[in-house]
Structure 1
């Protein structure tokens, strides 16, 4: 009987997971190639990561509806590393980064990544978005991007002059890129409901490719080997020998930290989109480690859980990990059966997709949200992180943001450590009550998260703030997300027993939780 029931459940799920997997495949295909180009590596590298992220990570992930693959957020890091140290060194770096993620998952520190300030995370992504846009503006003209964001910015006037003067066939490449951008954005705004499964990125690439083919434009196109999977290869002994170099070790640590943070924050966002199983953060962290380790061994790009593909998965109706696994299977089938189709795609079309993707990563709306909800100081952390990422590098930018977040939390830390108490039922007439006292900062976030998740669903839950002396925006964001999910399940959250700024800020967040 259990076997029959399980088979029936699988069939019922496949009715939704099968079409959802095809939608994710259509979203992932152009993004995998585009991110590869932005990373300065052949497009098949990103497609390999998409396959591993779909099939392998999809089978073992702690976030069943999250889709993993190459991420735009790591493209800038990889580009600079490959330029400085060579593509052959990337494999051992990914193996080490994946091993670090595996150890972190085993040590159960996945929840700590949720303690990173939203201002730092969004500032980091915004900085990466700026770098992607600055680099891909040059690819739009069939030119090569420069090593750094500032170099790309300074070179824009010269690129514009070359375009106006008609050097090469830059006008054709720019036309393809602009057609791609217009088609992508236009389709997303006007697409009929019956064709909602066709993503804007795919339509944009198809439009740009069709324009280049019909007009006979002499523009750069994607280059792929005849047997695309023949590029799979283990790292050489010489590449393994470079693991002892300080720059290589720093790169591995950077990829492990950034990929972990992006994956787990993406998983938290995906949890807010559906009512299915919640993310098991340590398992998800370990699964990402396995994926990066395997990608390092076979020649892929670094991977993370990706919010764009994950949200497409949820919106397309996926209900289990089968959708993620199937989308990786479709990428593999496409590479085996139709690799020649990729050679028709202009690189300017992929650059157009990434210009839009990069701008959306910048997301100025995040800064407005932070200012309105948490004040100018928090918005300033976002801006400082963004500017430092663009002006220096990603690691320096993130450390700057974390340092500013710590300074912002010092007054709260001076008020004493956060204490959390689950009130006994008789004291609250049978209503569960979570009593918060002391200063609530991101340093106590794992304990706060665990306490919130232990509260029952349905009925009423009280947050008692009588002795809460301070609370930072990271804790407010987590409580707001929790309140939003609990409200969706029919739970009433009441903030009681306090007064003053911490009580008022918490009450406002619970009354209007973040979406």
Structure 2
């Protein structure tokens, strides 16, 4: 642990190379243009002031960007945590958000110092995909209401049930129909932008979509809701002593654990994906978890949104030709300059445009293309994915993730506990029952059914020599079955015979 912390604090991220500096500066501008609308959009969708999203983006650049772990991935507020943040703010209040994020950062620091970073890679991919799919579905459902200028219901089921009424209101109400048109137009730009020539696509699609929607709204004088702006310094609200006492609540601690699990898993899975995009230094997972912990601790102290490493911004950084960590630090500088010098520019952005950006982002979180092949090749994994996503939509984020993890463990235990039972007849009418594989309680019903179906008047020899694992439940059940048969002979390390003479 000490060696991890020492190397963590002695990191020098930048190279003295003019060519690399130029590429990093250009890449940082691209990342800044991608991050700007997403930071604002995630904050608004989370039910907090827009400036808090910018603060998290700034900390992700200036603080996390300068720390070791991953060279190219970029951190900031993520769509994957939007639903959880919204629920936390609604239940505990905005003041408690800083405490929750601060506790998340401290817990990540502890996990990173204890070298737990690598173990997050052991989380079932199906659970992570199901988690992201559930988040995406809830995000899409919620932002459809925002796009229509309506108040979104509290639960996922209520959002689904309210869709027919939302559509009817949008069609009959001119104001809501106008807002929907702006949102749908934003989504159309995002979808069509990928089909343009590569030179045109140098400008990030989210920036173009939001800028176009803002320009059209202003030029046409459309009367729709815009982002509310308070100012960067006014938005910073460090948690007070009264807020810290909320950590004594079991519900709040459960939310902290959910934040930690989801933020850490998303960051480290993002790191694995980013590593496949370049030939540079690989991610050190423990150091990256420490870096995320530092970032969330700072964000919590400022009362801002939680952060994760974000694949969209990270991919933009790699594709823009970044050479060192300087690019992600500079993107934080540009965000800071924008937030300080041009805060009023945020206030002209229509909420419907940001909702459109997040609807598009939410759809991308649902792994539609992977579901078919996953169902054909690994049906159990597909079921875990679907169950996790459905549970998140119908209950809550924390309960859905816990259910997914439990299902993944049960599925693995079921697949590992393969037991094969063969019965052979020897001369004199003696039966030999050979059991091979891993005999666990999950396979006990089938095992006992096979043994109980044997003829009662025949001597039986039970051969356990090929059993790789025999748990306590199976051993107890086999000994009980043998005792019911009559005489019992036990030869260590196996139960060898049972039968009536």
> Shorter chain as normaliser: what TM range?
0.7 to 0.9
Post-superposition offset of 1:314 = 0.7
Extract unaligned runs of 5+ from structure 2: 1-12, 420-436, 439-467, 469-501
Q: Helix, strand or coil for the counterpart of 2:71?
A: coil
Retained in 2: the 8 A contact 1:128–1:389? yes
8 Å contact 1:97–1:252 — kept in the other structure? Answer: yes
Partner of 1:150: 157
Task: Tell me whether 1:203 sits opposite 2:185 in the alignment.
Answer: no
Distance 1:230 1:403 in 2: 43
Contact 1:233 1:298 in 2 (8 A): yes
Q: Is 1:174 the counterpart of 2:177 in the alignment?
A: no
User: In structure 1, what is the equivalent of residue 61 of structure 2?
Assistant: 54
SS in 2 for 1:102: helix
Query: Among 71, 74, 95, which residue is 1:88 paired with?
Result: 95
Partner of 1:16: 23
Task: Tell me the distance in 1 between the aligned counterparts of 2:334 and 2:373.
Answer: 38
Assess, with a 3 A threshold, how the Cα gap between structure 1 residues 394 and 203 changes in structure 2: closer, same or farther. Answer: same
Bigger Cα Rg: 2
Task: Indicate the residue corresponding to 2:111 in structure 1.
Answer: 104
3-state DSSP class of the match of 2:150?
A: coil
Q: SS at the partner of 1:76?
A: helix
Q: In structure 2, what is the equivalent of residue 123 of structure 1?
A: 130
TM-score (norm 2): 0.79
Distance 1:121 1:247 in 2: 22
Q: SS where residue 317 of structure 1 aligns?
A: coil
Q: Corresponding residue for 2:260? A: 256
User: Shift of residue 371 of structure 1?
Assistant: 2.5
1:114 alignment counterpart: 121
Are 1:267 and 2:271 counterparts? yes
Query: Are 1:235 and 2:239 counterparts?
Result: yes
Q: Does 1:45 align with 2:41?
A: no
Range moving further from structure 2, 33-42 or 406-415: 406-415
Counterpart of 1:79 in structure 2 is 86
Q: Please point out which of 288, 295, 301 is paired with 1:297.
A: 301
Aligned to 1:216: 221
Q: Aligned residue for 1:446?
A: none
Partner of 1:381: 384
CA distance in 1, matches of 2:202, 2:30: 6
Q: CA deviation at 1:144?
A: 2.2
Partner of 2:412 in structure 1? 409
CA distance in 1, matches of 2:357, 2:132: 17
Residue pair 1:234, 1:297 contacting (<8 A) in 2 also = yes
Paired residue for 2:145, among 133, 138, 145? 138
Decide whether the 8 Å contact of 1:53 with 1:69 is kept in 2. yes
Q: Quick one: distance in 2 between partners of 1:303 and 1:319?
A: 23
> Residues 14 and 325 of structure 2 are in contact (CA less than 8 Å); yes or no, is this contact kept in structure 1?
no
Cα RMSD after superposing both structures: 1.8
SS at match of 2:152: coil
Which residue of the partner structure matches residue 425 of structure 1? none
Post-superposition Cα deviations, 1:128-179, rounded to whole Å, max 9, x if no partner, equal: 0000000000001112222121111111111112112216x11221111111
Q: 2:280 aligns with which of 276, 288, 306?
A: 276
Tell me, in whole angstroms, the C-alpha distance in 1 between the residues paired with 2:106 and 2:335.
26
CA contact (8 A) 2:72 2:317 kept: yes
- Residue 321 of structure 2 corresponds to residue 314 of structure 1: no
d(CA) in 1 for partners of 2:159, 2:15: 55
**Matches of 1:411 and 1:218, distance apart in 2:** 58
* Unpaired stretches in structure 1, ≥5 consecutive residues: 1-5, 417-437, 440-468, 470-515
Aligned to 2:480: none
Instruction: Tell me, yes or no, if the aligned pair for 1:68 and 1:303 is still in contact at 8 Å.
Output: yes
User: How many Å apart are 1:197 and its aligned residue?
Assistant: 2.1
Residue 295 of structure 1, CA deviation: 0.5
Asked if 2 retains the 8 angstrom alpha-carbon contact of 1:223 and 1:343, the reply is yes
> Cα distance, 1:233 vs. partner?
2.7
Is residue 141–residue 174 contact of structure 1 (8 Å, CA) maintained in 2?
yes
For 1:242 and 1:377, the matched residues in 2 are separated by 39
Cα distance in 1 for residues equivalent to 2:15 and 2:269:
33
Preserved CA contact (<8 Å) 2:62 2:329: yes
TM-score normalised over the length of structure 1 = 0.77
- Shift of the 235–210 alpha-carbon distance from structure 1 to 2, 3 Å rule, reads same
- How far apart, in 1, do the equivalents of 2:373 and 2:74 lie? 26
SS of equivalent to 1:193: coil
> What is the count of residue pairs matched by the alignment?
410
Residue 194 of structure 2 corresponds to 188
1:160 is matched with 167
